[in-house]
């Protein structure tokens, strides 16, 4: 029989531990966010539907994005045992400079529409964390504004080749003059993808006050207050706006972009140049042989060609084809620090986060971006410790198995066979 007694008041007092109430609402909600998915939930609650869907959505049926995220979930890790890693080194040398973590902030367009601090928040958070920040050609803060927000950190610039080539050339010169050290030459946007959420929402730049947007704004007055009481949106390249995002892209981009354009930009740019939007092994090898400094395996976050290749699945084969000394980065679908660890193990030198950063921005401005980076850092460190590795250099393909739900069909002499 269990012996029972009346509770001891002194022992009860020891058990009663009350947290000091957090009066800062922003800090309270960000502290409660333990994952990037938690930040996404907060962002959706605080951001008007059209702006949130622009960030969250992808092209057509959004298959490319779902498959990319599923690929990271379909990872099996293989930890080593009795390999203590009480301290882990997450730093990396990338494109001639340091990064405290194996990821940087990817270029995102129209960022101040997500939350008014926009690229300034992203650049400042990147500077504090010691990681690179990338400004998009379609960013809403100028090249010089990002440099002012991140004067001593690493700034990268993402370049679209536009119909008016002189716009692209001038942007290249400005980024070089501002001390940006790496150019991401983007090649997967000859025309805009069909971003159906934007069409259904009537999403335009700048946002229009319609009956629908007004109704959606009622529970989110803070977003509209910020939007209407801060400086007019400033684009890094476009001098005129108006129309949907797809219409703006189609007006600006040029489907005739070629290796000749790459050669011209290469001559204009004094720093490192990487090609963003590579989606097969053959192009990876050709670009290496063309003398670029690296590539980003990317399907543009699923926002261009739906049913595009999954960058994470391409990674091992591309690494084998281009060799160990060529810089290979990867983006699309990263939502957890374990995704980043798996990418490094399979051959990525570096990774880029886009939506994860924007979810944090929408959830809490600069503090939200800081929270994004802190969450990913914690997940990276914990995953490394559980794998038994003390540095990124110790990660290798043997630590990861890529499980797959999508099995290719190969055509043989006797017809189609599954392999």
**Measured between alpha carbons, how far is 331 from 356 in angstroms, rounded to an integer?**
11
Question: Is residue 152 among the annotated active site residues?
Answer: no
Which residue in 78, 152, 300, 399 is the catalytic one? 300
Residue by residue, what is the 3-state secondary structure of 81-149?
CCCCCCCCECCEEECCEEECCCEEECCCCCHHHHCCCHHHHHHHHHHHHCCCEEEECCCCCCHHHHHHH
* Contact call for residues 274 and 132 (beta carbons, < 8 A): no
**Measured between alpha carbons, how far is 149 from 203 in angstroms, rounded to an integer?**
29
Residue by residue, what is the 3-state secondary structure of 350-396?
EEEECHHHHHHHHHHHHHHHHHHHHHHHHHHHHHHHHHCCCEHHHCC
DSSP state of 229: T
Q: Which residues are within 8 A (CB) of 349 and not within 5 positions of it... i.e. 6 or more apart?
A: 92, 94, 294, 327, 328, 329
Q: Which residues are catalytic?
A: 300
């Amino acid at each position: 029989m269990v012996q029972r007694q009346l509770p001891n008041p002194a022992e009860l007092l020891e058990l009663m531990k009350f947290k000091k109430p957090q009066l800062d609402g922003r800090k309270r909600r960000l502290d409660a966010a333990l994952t990037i998915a938690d930040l996404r939930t907060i962002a959706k609650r605080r951001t008007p539907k059209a702006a949130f869907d622009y960030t969250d959505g992808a092209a057509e049926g959004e298959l490319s994005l779902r498959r990319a995220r599923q690929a990271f979930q379909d990872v099996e890790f293989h930890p080593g045992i009795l390999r203590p890693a009480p301290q882990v080194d997450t730093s990396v040398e990338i494109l001639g400079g340091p990064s405290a973590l194996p990821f940087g902030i990817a270029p995102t367009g129209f960022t101040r529409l997500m939350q008014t601090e926009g690229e300034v928040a992203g650049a400042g958070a990147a500077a504090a964390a010691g990681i690179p920040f990338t400004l998009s050609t379609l960013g809403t803060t100028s090249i010089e504004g990002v440099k002012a927000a991140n004067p001593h950190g690493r700034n990268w610039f993402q370049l679209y080749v536009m119909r008016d080539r002189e716009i692209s050339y001038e942007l290249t010169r400005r980024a070089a003059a501002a001390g940006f050290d790496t150019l991401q030459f983007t090649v997967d946007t000859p025309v805009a993808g069909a971003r159906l959420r934007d069409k259904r929402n009537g999403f335009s730049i700048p946002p229009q006050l319609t009956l629908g947007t007004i109704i959606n704004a009622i529970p989110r007055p803070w977003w509209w207050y910020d939007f209407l009481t801060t400086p007019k949106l400033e684009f890094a390249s476009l001098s005129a706006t108006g129309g949907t995002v797809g219409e703006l892209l189609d007006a600006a981009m040029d489907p005739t972009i070629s290796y000749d354009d790459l050669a011209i930009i290469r001559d204009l740019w004094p720093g490192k140049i990487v090609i963003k939007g590579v989606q097969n092994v053959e192009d990876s090898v050709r670009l290496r042989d063309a003398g670029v400094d690296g590539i980003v395996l990317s399907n543009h976050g699923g926002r261009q060609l739906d049913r595009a290749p999954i960058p994470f699945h391409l990674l091992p084969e591309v690494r084998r084809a281009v060799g160990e000394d060529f810089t290979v980065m990867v983006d699309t679908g990263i939502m957890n620090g374990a995704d980043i660890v798996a990418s490094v193990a399979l051959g990525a030198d570096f990774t880029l986060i886009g939506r994860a950063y924007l979810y944090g921005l929408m959830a809490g401005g600069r503090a939200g971006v800081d929270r994004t980076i802190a969450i990913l850092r914690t997940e990276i460190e914990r995953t490394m410790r559980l794998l038994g590795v003390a540095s990124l250099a110790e990660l290798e393909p043997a630590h990861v198995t890529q499980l797959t739900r999508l099995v290719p069909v190969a055509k043989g002499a006797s017809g189609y066979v599954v392999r």
